[in-house]
Amino acid sequence: MTPDHTQSELRRLPGVDAFVQRPEAAAWEAAYGRGPVVEALREVLDAVRADILSGGAYPGDEVLAERVAERLATLAAPTLVPVINAAGVVLHTNLGRAPLSAAVLEAMRGAGQGYSNLEYDLEAGQRGSRYVHAEALLCRLTGAEAALLVNNNAGAVLLALSALARGRGVIISRGQLVEIGGGFRIPEVMAQSGARLVEVGTTNRTYVRDYAAAIDDDTAALMRVHTSNYRIRGFTAQPELAEMVALAREHDLLVIDDLGSGTLLDTARYGLAHEPTVQESVAGGADLVTFSGDKLLGGPQAGIIVGKAEHVARLRRFPLTRALRVDKTTIAGIQTNLLHYLKGEAEREIPVWRMISAPAEEIGARAEVLLARLGGAGAGCEIIPGTSVVGGGSLPDEGLPTRLIAVPGPAETLAEALRRGRPAVVGRIEDGRLLLDLRTVLPEDEEPLVVRLRDLLEG
């Protein structure tokens, strides 16, 4: 292209002021504000100018407008988007763990919308504590003397070790040196807390006498960690909590019990292995029990610590607590979620328990209705028996019998298309087939799922 031509192309570039007079600019400004519109326009103009200087032509005002619109849409697009979980993993950590009940969402909305007595004592008219809020309910449900909410269970464990065992020994079985997803590893958390890890026993077998032999003047606590996401099978032994508690009492030591998921309901009722409940740990004499708010409890993300009042009081005063504190919306959500347990309606109201308790026949019936709604598009789909899992680092060996929709066609390609569309759909691939498990699909997500599947299978 000749220099003359380049110059004439450059002259066709509109000025920013002229361009924002275009009719679509008013809508952009209303949606994004003037600053981002002008900035997007400048960036697009700069790119076009550079292109002309390297021999390109001016693409025209219409194309320019399209590029500005695209840039603005990208800028404003949320990175967090809804996903339909058809993978059959109830507590899918990558997909945000527990979906919340309607009442919990309403409580969180209420707490977020206005002011509250978060840290204000309305009777006394003076500063109060945010740490009192869910305590009475937690104590009532678990039998503990005291309770404390923090940001998540990783924070709860770090806090307990930092506040109560810093600079001293904490004895733990070699079979319980867990790594949870996301880089939470017990030995590293221990190091971070300043406590000294004293590992005893072997990977498969640890006895209470192993703990006893390791106790010295410097020991602060015995710790038990639930091996959430793995099982050691075969020739194995781990001491009962009661034995650890008895030993700790003799030596005036603490027992810290990290339950991981922590459940208030007995998972054995649903044909699963029995997960230790929080009530059992408290009754068994653990001084502090830590667990998550958003695993089997089925509420918003939080770490929950329950136990003896004197130890919880020390945690409350410890400076790290301030760095791990929970938001008002979380407190409202946890409190309302706990009420579902108090009222005996957890299985009906809390989505994760509704999903866990759903029988395979019910899921099969939903699958049939869904295929009927797909009509001709679903012709090649089949309903087959399969297994859902609880996930979230709990019950690794356990499955819940389910019915799966097997989608015909190239599994990887189909799965990718489902992931990339909106709302995104995540299924799972087994034996080269794309499988969809309605156990984890919320009832209100069935219609959008039908639409996505119809597009996929007809397209």
Among 85, 101, 142, 153, binds ligand PLP (CB under 6 A): 153
**CA 251 – CA 5 distance, rounded (Å):** 90
**CA 145 – CA 149 distance, rounded (Å):** 14
Q: Which of residues 274-293 bind ligand PLP (CB under 6 A)?
A: 292
Tokens representing residue 9 in the block: 């192309």
Residue pair 223/247 in contact by the 8 Å Cβ criterion? no
Residue 48 or 326: which CB sits closer to ligand PLP? Answer: 326
Write the CB contacts of 140 (distance below 8 Å, at least 6 apart in sequence): 342
Q: How far is the CB of 170 from ligand PLP (least distance, A)?
A: 14
Tokens representing residue 84 in the block: 């339909």
Among 226, 328, 340, 403, binds ligand PLP (CB under 6 A): 226
**First CA to last CA across the chain, in angstroms?**
43
- Binding flag, residue 180, ligand PLP (CB under 6 A): yes
Task: Give bridge partners of residue 388 from the DSSP assignment.
Answer: 400
Residue 151 or 402: which CB sits closer to ligand PLP? Answer: 151
Q: Which residue is nearest to ligand PLP (CB)?
A: 260
Among 173, 228, 277, 281, binds ligand PLP (CB under 6 A): 228
Among 169, 239, 260, 300, binds ligand PLP (CB under 6 A): 260
Q: How far is the CB of 197 from ligand PLP (least distance, A)?
A: 15
Among 100, 393, 426, 450, binds ligand PLP (CB under 6 A): 393
DSSP, collapsed to helix, strand or coil, labels residue 157 as helix
Classify each residue of 179-209 as buried b or exposed e, where b means 16 or more C-beta atoms within 10 Å of its C-beta. ebeeebebeebbeebebbbbbbbeeeebbbe
- Binding flag, residue 296, ligand PLP (CB under 6 A): no
Residue pair 226/276 in contact by the 8 Å Cβ criterion? yes
**CA 67 – CA 108 distance, rounded (Å):** 39
Would residue 60 be called left, alpha or beta, if left means φ above 0 and alpha means ψ between -120 and 50 degrees?
Answer: left
Q: Which stretch binds ligand PLP (CB under 6 A): 55-63, 102-110, 222-230, 374-382?
A: 222-230
- Binding flag, residue 219, ligand PLP (CB under 6 A): no
- Binding flag, residue 391, ligand PLP (CB under 6 A): no
Q: Which stretch binds ligand PLP (CB under 6 A): 6-14, 120-128, 151-159, 319-327?
A: 151-159
- Binding flag, residue 175, ligand PLP (CB under 6 A): no
- Interacting residues with ligand PLP (CB under 6 A): 152-154, 157, 178, 180, 184, 225-226, 228, 258, 260-261, 292, 303, 393
